[in-house]
Amino acid sequence: MKHVVKCENITKIFEQGLIKVNALTDVNISVEAGEFICLSGPSGSGKSTLLNMIGGLDTPTSGEVYIDGDEIDTLNRSQLADMRLHKIGFVFQAYNLIPVLSAQENVEMVMQMQGIDKHTRHQRSSAILKEVGLEGLEDRKPPELSGGQQQRVAVARAIVSQPSLILADEPTANLDSNSASNLIDLMLHINKQHNTTFIISTHDPMIMQRARKLVKLHDGQITDIISQNNHV
């Protein structure tokens, strides 16, 4: 199987004045195409830091991160931005939608940055909004949508450019249990239909139970990796 992500001996040290905090220590993980992985652990365990390393949003103090075989730590700022634009979709806890743009315009943003023509952008954004259950709501702005609907827009935006990897940081944290369950169903559907790789950082036991692989972190180290063989 092809490795979409490979982390080798990742260590991240944050300096707070004279104090050094080891957020990650010698972390090794490989992620194959089409996996649905949950990073779990208590606050401060390093799961969000690891997600940021994988997404190129932060750099490790030592160690290497590879995306599709390319070592991202050697890329310059422009190359790194291009890699994120074309290979990674991000879903954040706070949705990060632009409030003055419609759902469709929010979804089209990434494709516009990629230089995709207007007609293709409209076709693909309409199709993906239908797939995530938002057909008929394309013209609504984020304040006119529920939290669950906004997070679906965020997922649609993340997958519309057909990246090989989706990184989601606490995607259900601001949702009620029903909306959270529906969002997990949606992400599993996308994973299965498109063979899109998901790495999700979460406290949510629903995601932990349904992930196909559970990576447990504690004090910046991986303590266990459990294959759960879930297919629902």
The pLDDT of residue 194: 87
pTM given for the model: 0.90
**Tally of domains within the chain:** 1
The CATH number of whichever domain residue 92 belongs to comes to: 3.40.50.300
Domain that holds residue 145: 3-227
DSSP classification of residue 39: E
Inside any domain, residue 49: yes
What are the CB-based long-range contacts (under 8 Å, 24+) for 9-15?
Answer: 9/62, 9/63, 9/64, 10/50, 10/53, 10/60, 10/62, 10/63, 10/64, 10/65, 11/60, 11/61, 11/62, 11/63, 12/46, 12/49, 12/53, 12/58, 12/60, 12/61, 12/220, 13/61
Per-residue pLDDT, 36: 94
Question: Residues 14-27: pLDDT tens digits?
Answer: 988 889 989 999 99
pLDDT at 232 over 50: no
* pLDDT tens-place string over residues 43-101: 889 999 999 999 998 999 999 999 998 899 888 889 998 888 889 999 887 778 999 99
232 lies in some domain: no
Please say whether the beta carbons of 204 and 173 come within 8 A. Answer: yes
Q: Is the pLDDT of residue 192 over 80?
A: yes
**Mean pLDDT, residues 146-159 taken together:** 90
Provide the pLDDT confidence category of residue 28 given band limits of 50, 70 and 90. Answer: very high
Q: Could you tell me if residue 204 is inside a domain?
A: yes
Structure tokens at 84: 């994120």
Give CA separation, 159 vs 116, 131, 162, in Å.
Answer: 15, 11, 5
Q: What is the rounded CA–CA span in Å between residue 39 and residue 51?
A: 9
